[in-house]
Amino acid sequence: MNDIFTPPAASETACRQRGAFRSAAVEAALAALLRQLVSGLNVRAGKLPDNVDGIGVSVTGFPEPAEESPGSLTVTATLTGRSGDAGFRNTFSRIATAFPREHDEVLAVRFNRIERQNAGTFNTVLHHGVPKTTVELALLCRIDLARSYFSAQETAETPDAARWAGIPLTAVENGVAALLGVRVGTLGDVEEEDAAVRITGSAPAEDLRHREFTLELAVRGVGSSGFGETLSKLLARLPAVNVTSRGVLFNAVWHSGGDSFKIERIFERECGSGTLTLTASVDVASSQSADSTPAPDAPNRDVVAFDPAALERALARWLGEKLNLAPDRGICRGEFPPPGCGVCPAAAVRLTGIASGNRAAGFRIQAQLQIRTPHRDELFQRLLALDAWLPRYRETLENRVIRAVLKREFQLDWHEENGRNLLEGVLALELVL
């Protein structure tokens, strides 16, 4: 004999029992039951977000019962599954074959019986560029109202609108930048190779548990091959699913298209650059303590001064190595020494100016290489060898990295000295610090 009193369907007690029903509590109970059946599976109460793999459990309706039972309520629930895992079909099959079930009590919700309504068909779809398996399975659940307690505290936490809007944008940018190993912001104006990411938009609040952001990933690489390699390394890290970076829990970060590419010249060097659109879905409740410290802005020029004399000496030694000229004897810094001083260098190097610029950092310095010789063939051999060797990039001169050493204009002249004709070649250089 049933020891639980079943009130008449039209009675006040029966109405109160039915009125206590909460679909969110049933979804949470079914999700908990599925986790008991198969461990290690991401099961969520409610609709499965578009950017999250796993199984979502949603109450979808109240069908007419096959027989009247005033103390119970019949509901339909749908299990929506999606995953790129090769073993997902087997995992979901174990769940499907576990039904029908009877007399399960989970999270204070009593299920008299749960049975399948359809067979559930697996499909393969391209989801954000990734092949994934999808499936839907409908369940018919008969719930014992008298023995169930639909507690609001038993359901998953749903953040409010203030917490949804309170996710710091800088925290999301910092998290994606750390995940990809790039900077926050835009591409620099002096680096050949660079990559940076920044937020460009946010989707409306359709689900307060998740917030979606649109980001722009800007990439630049040297030459078409260098650009392709840089881009491939970044895209190989996407999509990223269920990862925490800088205190932000990302349901997923994926490449969502909207790409544009171009070829440009920086420091007389061909570079490929492009922008890509990314989408990031953030778990709101789990990301409230994210690090929102923004990257420091530097709107004003902030550079470390250089020593012109030391740079001039370093440049003279560096060019002397390439021309096979000994410092202070074969090549000197500044002006050529006057006749009769005991040395007669073949070349001289000097700084001639600094280009005015408004970049946040760095200098562009003009320099001049002068070569003197009475022999035209020797002069041309030295100049052509140097011309074929320049420009150079990322060279180290006396422990200082020079971004680029560029050649500018070249002039030939001759003059008479102590009764001899001397040929002189002048090569203008530009150093980018």
Render 337-374 in DSSP notation, one character per residue: PPTTSS---SEEEEEEEEE----SS--EEEEEEEEEES
Clarify whether residues 147 and 177 are in a common domain.
no
Clarify whether residues 29 and 150 are in a common domain.
yes
Give the C-alpha separation, 368 to 424, whole Å: 12
Tell me which of 105, 134, 154 is where a domain ends: 154
Q: What CATH number is attached to the domain comprising 248?
A: 3.30.2000.30
pLDDT at 17: 52
**Preceding peptide of 337 cis, ω within 30°:** no
Tell me which of 134, 154, 174 is where a domain ends: 154
Clarify whether residues 312 and 195 are in a common domain.
no
pLDDT, one tens digit for every residue, the chain (433 residues): 455 555 555 455 555 555 567 888 899 999 999 999 988 788 988 888 776 789 999 999 888 766 666 678 889 999 999 998 888 999 999 999 999 999 999 988 889 999 999 888 899 998 766 789 999 999 999 988 878 888 754 445 678 888 888 898 999 999 999 999 999 988 876 667 889 999 999 988 888 888 999 999 999 888 777 788 888 888 889 888 888 999 899 988 988 887 888 877 777 777 888 899 999 999 898 888 776 666 556 666 667 778 888 899 999 999 988 888 888 888 888 888 877 677 788 888 999 988 767 776 678 889 998 888 878 888 888 888 888 888 888 888 878 888 888 888 888 777 766 666 778 888 889 888 8
Give the C-alpha separation, 222 to 134, whole Å: 41
- Domain assignment present for residue 139? The answer is yes
pLDDT at 97: 92
Clarify whether residues 265 and 335 are in a common domain.
no
- H helices present in 120-203, as ranges: 161-165, 169-180
Clarify whether residues 104 and 22 are in a common domain.
yes
Contacts of 214 (CB under 8 A, 6+ apart): 199, 200, 201, 202, 203, 256, 277, 278, 279
Query: How is residue 46 annotated by DSSP?
Result: B
> What is the distance, to the nearest Å, from the Cα of residue 70 to the centroid of all Cα atoms in its chain?
56
For residue 227, what is the enclosing H or E element? helix 223-235
pLDDT at 42: 86
- Domain assignment present for residue 299? The answer is no
Strand pairing category for 54-61 and 43-45: parallel
- Domain assignment present for residue 79? The answer is yes
Q: What CATH number is attached to the domain comprising 131?
A: 3.30.2000.10
- Domain assignment present for residue 58? The answer is yes
- Domain assignment present for residue 293? The answer is no
- Domain assignment present for residue 105? The answer is yes
Clarify whether residues 20 and 141 are in a common domain.
yes
Overall domain count for the chain: 3
Answer yes or no: pTM beyond 0.85. Answer: no
Tell me which of 233, 257, 287 is where a domain ends: 287
Domain that residue 38 falls in:
12-154
Give the C-alpha separation, 224 to 423, whole Å: 42
Clarify whether residues 207 and 167 are in a common domain.
yes
